[in-house]
Amino acid sequence: CSFHGLALNVNMDLSPFLRINPCGYAGMEMAKITQWKEDATTDNIAPRLLANILALLNNPPYEYIAA
């Protein structure tokens, strides 16, 4: 059995990850976008992430609707 997905930590407390083995790897360190871009928010990251993923899929048509 295999599970795949995407979790993008933008600006959160990463301490809960210290209690688990992320992806089954003991000691794997988690990161968040704000470690590199301090003003990052889900509102300004989500559309860019979507655009980049769709570019990898040859840009199928889409409409971005913010939650």
Catalytic residue (choose from 1, 6, 7, 23)? 23
Please provide the DSSP assignment of the chain as one string. ---------SS---GGGGGS-GGG-TTPPP--GGGT-TT--HHHHHHHHHHHHHHHTT---------
pLDDT band at 1 (very low <50, low <70, confident <90, very high): low
Domain encompassing residue 4: 1-66
Contacting residues for 67 by C-beta, under 8 A, at least 6 apart: none
In this prediction, residue 34 carries a pLDDT of 97
Token pair recorded at residue 4: 């795949």
Token pair recorded at residue 18: 């210290």
Q: How many domains does the chain have?
A: 1
Mean pLDDT of 1-30: 88
Q: For this structure, is 23 an active site residue?
A: yes
Tens digit of each residue's pLDDT (9 = 90 or more) over 20-60: 998 888 999 999 999 999 999 999 999 999 899 999 999 88
